[in-house]
Structure 1
Amino acid sequence: MKTLKYLFIALLVVSVIPVQAKRKNPKKQQKEQLQLPAKADSISYAFGIDAGNGIKGAFQDIKDRSSLDLNPEIFIQAFKSVLLGDSTIFSKDDANLILNRFGAEMQRIAQEKQKIEAEKNLADGKAFLATKAAEAGIQKTASGLLYQVITEGTGEKPTLSDKVKVHYTGKLIDGKKFDSSYDRQQPLELPVGGVIAGWQEGLQLMPVGSKYIFYIPSELGYGERGAGKDIPANSALIFEVELLEIVR
């Protein structure tokens, strides 16, 4: 876990992080290197800023994930004791045990949160699709795929074994866009049999030259696993798809 990694390496960070002096305005700042009276002090201070920023981010991440507001003064006390070789309340092994237990707790909290979000996504998706299915111009297949014909082409329909070239935009049901070949200004070539089930079925309905909108239930999309950070678990999906050609 990145958060706990910062806590584990806090005592080592001063020996592994490179330091570079930065000048905000080269025209006004003529010095080649910013320095405190002693070079060692400047480097020590720069290490402190770098390590402090990392630890500050870790503290905020822990607060966001677990609502636990860590005490920076306690941290500084322990950090300083280790650097100066003074005695500490906990041994190194004790500290590792505490952090390992906390890491497991953080993981449990994250899993519980993901489960709640997944259940909500599933319910929201079903409600959205039920409402959408009642709208004029929306067609539904036996699998539960909903689609809307924007433009009906006159070309050949692809089969599961074909490769096609498409333009598309993908959104969540709240309208958040997570992918678009239009934005990249580059159509995508893909095998019909190598995409999610909703696309496999939908593409085979489309004559070349068509533009459809697919409304895909989560079980025909990425299901419980989701897809990275952009497509949460159990998300219903909306795709606007333009079938440009079958690639022979």
Structure 2
Amino acid sequence: MKVLKNLVIVLAASSIVSCSNPVANKKSLETSIDSVSYALGLDMANKFRANLPEVNSAVFMQGYLNGMDSLNLLIKNDDVLPVIQNYLQKQQAKQMEEQQKTALEAAEKEFGHFKKAGEEFLAENKKKDGVITTESGLQYEILKAGKGEKPSATSMVKIHYHGTLIDGTVFESSVEKNAPIEMRVNQFIQGWIEGLQLMPVGAKYRFYIPQELAYGAFPRPGVIKPFMALVFEVELLDIK
């Protein structure tokens, strides 16, 4: 973690600075130790301003002086790095969440019509005879019943599939390529992970997958745009 590394280097460097005169107000730097001491302090300030601008300077100085004297420590030395790391990890997680929220809002503004079209399609589709809707929103219909074992999330399965958009546009098909695929169930999109575990070997189902159980806001190469609902015909050939 770059920010943590910078702070650790800064705090380690600060330990060589004398605290015999903790509050100085020099107008010039006359000795080499004065120059390096001032440079270390300036370097710390620059790094904090760049990486941790919310730092409480007064409490920072209290911790620095307590550490130099090894007196009145409010945090054990063994806990110093975990406290810093925990705080920075939370801050980075918060920043990532904000960035993802901003990116999602931008994607919805540009591609929201795909989301609306998918929701309208699925709302009508669930009314059709033979279409079953699960609690997650996945819809499926049984095209051919199977009699074999059902896979688990960690099972390696061999399948044929034919994928289309809700308007029927084909985007990928192992059937057309005559090349079934083998992969673990939990490596597929969420709609498949759920749907495959409903299927016995030998069955063929059609899945109608809401965008949140497919690729969500993330486009795929080709015709799949953000927030698109997808349709798959899937045949479970074998559990390896």
Bigger Rg, which one? 2
**Is 1:173 matched with 2:155?**
no
Distance of 2:106 and 2:223 partners within structure 1 = 16
Name structure 2 gaps, 5 residues minimum.
1-104
Q: For 1:73-222, list aligned pairs within 5 A.
A: 115-222=108-215
User: What amino acid sits opposite 2:237 in the alignment?
Assistant: L
| Aligned twin of 1:103 | none
User: What amino acid sits opposite 2:147 in the alignment?
Assistant: T
Distance of 2:123 and 2:221 partners within structure 1 = 26
Distance of 1:235 and 1:153 partners within structure 2 = 29
Q: TM-score, normalised by structure 2?
A: 0.55
| Aligned twin of 2:238 | 245
Residue 113 of structure 1: how far off its partner (Å): 9.6
Distance of 1:160 and 1:115 partners within structure 2 = 31
CA-atom RMSD, angstroms? Answer: 1.8
Distance of 1:115 and 1:152 partners within structure 2 = 38
* Selected match of 1:233 from 226, 235, 238: 226
Residue 238 of structure 1: how far off its partner (Å): 0.1
Cα distance, 1:177–1:117 mapped onto 2, change above 3 Å: farther
Name structure 1 gaps, 5 residues minimum.
1-111
| Aligned twin of 2:48 | none
Residue 226 of structure 1: how far off its partner (Å): 2.0
| Aligned twin of 2:24 | none
| Per-residue deviation, residues 9-43 of structure 1 (Å, max 9, x unmatched) | xxxxxxxxxxxxxxxxxxxxxxxxxxxxxxxxxxx
| Aligned twin of 2:56 | none
Q: For 1:29-48, list aligned pairs within 5 A.
A: none
Residue 228 of structure 1: how far off its partner (Å): 1.9
User: What amino acid sits opposite 2:143 in the alignment?
Assistant: I
- Secondary structure of the residue aligned to 1:213 is strand
Runs of 4+ with deviation above 2 angstroms: 112-117
| Per-residue deviation, residues 166-201 of structure 1 (Å, max 9, x unmatched) | 000000001100000011111010110111000000
Q: Between 147-156 and 226-235, report the one with greater CA deviation.
A: 226-235
Residue 225 of structure 1: how far off its partner (Å): 0.7
| Per-residue deviation, residues 130-179 of structure 1 (Å, max 9, x unmatched) | 00000000001000000000001000000001010000000000110000
User: What amino acid sits opposite 1:194 in the alignment?
Assistant: Q
| Per-residue deviation, residues 73-120 of structure 1 (Å, max 9, x unmatched) | xxxxxxxxxxxxxxxxxxxxxxxxxxxxxxxxxxxxxxx996555200
Residue 229 of structure 1: how far off its partner (Å): 2.9
Using the aligned pairs only, state the percent identity: 47
Distance of 1:149 and 1:160 partners within structure 2 = 20
| Aligned twin of 2:52 | none
